[in-house]
């Protein structure tokens, strides 16, 4: 669902330099910028809008799709209050030559549900078996680093994986062409393959290496906005938490709400995906949205060791302070 992540980030960093940085607000209008087209990662936002959770707290919330430059640069520049982002995007943003003043304020899904999917007939039931196979690659350093880690950690030779530059937008079609394996977010594309009746193997990154249980996606905001609008930010996250809690308890109705606001979304896929994510938004933790410091830090330590970020971040880049207590 985020096939253009790294290119969008770089464009966003450039955009930030042009639009300036002003986050003061004189009203209760709140804009949330999505990371991609509407999907079940975003359902809690639409539920909170539909059910009046935002309105009840005096907020006028608008949900918009991202511009070509990406969402994160908009919150950094004070042009939007919140954005759907990812831990792997925030790290480079914080350590770039012109760092973006942004911070993650809530996890949308508690565990990383991404991994490699392939047709079962290809025999790719472990990372080393990607050797000699055609993998649809975004061709980013981040992607290569993860794939190298899991393939070679399984005794394979990453140089023998055939990387095919391909921004896959239809996983079902791709798997039925000359592509053997694709990186997917199982809650959407994986569920889509189930509905299509495909017999697949799925390798979850977090199952191969716990360091890859990073937070993706998250809600992010600008540090200046948060400093100047603490109560508004807390109200927004209170209502948003209610939206995701409702989606957890009522996945079918939540899916219908999503499709009402985004009629281009297939209802059957939305319902099946929503049933899956009902167990993933909060998972085993006590409250939706909280971020674990150890998991966050461990992943950034790995990114630094791999040269994917320019400085050690430790636990920087997130806060749980604005979530309901």
Domain shared by 192 and 219, yes or no: no
Domain shared by 202 and 54, yes or no: no
- How many domains in the chain? 2
Q: For residue range 102-121, what is the model confidence (pLDDT) as tens digits?
A: 999 999 999 999 999 999 99
φ/ψ (deg, to 5) at 207:
-80, -25
Angle between helices 267-277 and 251-261 (to 10 degrees): 140
Q: State the average pLDDT over residues 195-205.
A: 98
Is-contact 269 171, C-beta < 8 A? no
Q: State the average pLDDT over residues 72-91.
A: 96
Looking at residue 168, which CATH number applies to its domain? 3.40.190.10
Query: Which of 13-22, 60-69, 140-149, 212-221 comes out lowest in average pLDDT?
Result: 13-22
pTM: 0.91
Domain assignment present for residue 89? The answer is yes
Domain assignment present for residue 149? The answer is yes
Residue 6, pLDDT score: 42
Q: Six-digit token pair at 97?
A: 């030559």
Residue 27, pLDDT score: 65
Domain shared by 146 and 94, yes or no: no
Domain shared by 58 and 37, yes or no: yes
- 12 pLDDT tier (thresholds 50, 70, 90): very low
Q: Six-digit token pair at 90?
A: 């925030």
- Best CA proximity match to 139, nearest among 162, 115, 156, 169: 162
Residue 10, pLDDT score: 40
Map residue 314 onto helix, strand or coil: coil
Q: State the average pLDDT over residues 267-295.
A: 98
Q: Six-digit token pair at 319?
A: 């806060």
Q: Which segments of the chain does DSSP mark as H helices, in order?
A: 5-19, 43-50, 53-56, 72-76, 87-95, 141-153, 171-175, 191-195, 205-208, 223-228, 230-249, 251-261, 267-277, 293-305
Domain shared by 208 and 218, yes or no: no
Domain shared by 90 and 226, yes or no: yes
Q: State the average pLDDT over residues 1-13.
A: 42
User: Which domain, by its residues, includes 49?
Assistant: 5-111+214-305
Q: State the average pLDDT over residues 32-39.
A: 95
């Amino acid at each position: 669902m985020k096939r253009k992540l790294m290119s969008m980030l770089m464009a966003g960093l450039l955009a930030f330099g042009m639009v300036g940085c002003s986050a003061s607000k004189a009203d209760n209008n709140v804009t949330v910028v999505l990371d991609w087209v509407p999907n079940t990662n975003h359902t809690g936002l639409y539920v909170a809008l539909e059910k009046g959770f935002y309105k009840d707290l005096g907020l006028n919330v608008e949900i918009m799709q991202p511009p070509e430059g990406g969402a994160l640069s908009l919150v950094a520049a004070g042009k939007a209050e919140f954005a759907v982002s990812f831990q792997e995007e925030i790290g480079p943003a914080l350590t770039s030559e012109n760092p973006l003043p942004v911070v993650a304020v809530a996890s949308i899904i508690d565990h990383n549900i991404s991994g490699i999917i392939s047709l079962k007939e290809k025999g790719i039931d472990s990372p080393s078996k990607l050797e000699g196979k055609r993998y649809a690659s975004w061709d980013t350093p981040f992607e290569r680093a993860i794939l190298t880690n899991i393939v070679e950690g399984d005794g394979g030779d990453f140089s023998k994986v055939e990387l095919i530059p391909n921004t896959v937008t239809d996983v079902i079609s791709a798997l039925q062409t000359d592509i053997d394996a694709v990186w997917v977010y199982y809650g959407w594309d994986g569920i889509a393959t189930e509905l299509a009746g495909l017999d697949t193997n799925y390798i979850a990154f977090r199952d191969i290496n716990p360091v890859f249980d990073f937070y993706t996606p998250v809600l992010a905001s600008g540090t200046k906005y948060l400093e100047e609008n603490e109560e508004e930010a807390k109200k927004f996250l209170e209502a948003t938490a209610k939206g995701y809690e409702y989606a957890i308890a009522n996945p079918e109705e939540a899916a219908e709400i999503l499709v009402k606001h985004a009629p281009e979304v297939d209802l059957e896929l939305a319902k099946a995906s929503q049933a899956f994510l009902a167990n993933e938004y909060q998972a085993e933790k006590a409250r939706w949205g909280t971020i674990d410091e150890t998991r966050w830090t461990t992943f950034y330590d790995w990114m630094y060791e791999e040269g994917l970020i320019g400085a050690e971040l430790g636990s920087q880049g997130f806060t749980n302070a604005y979530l309901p207590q």
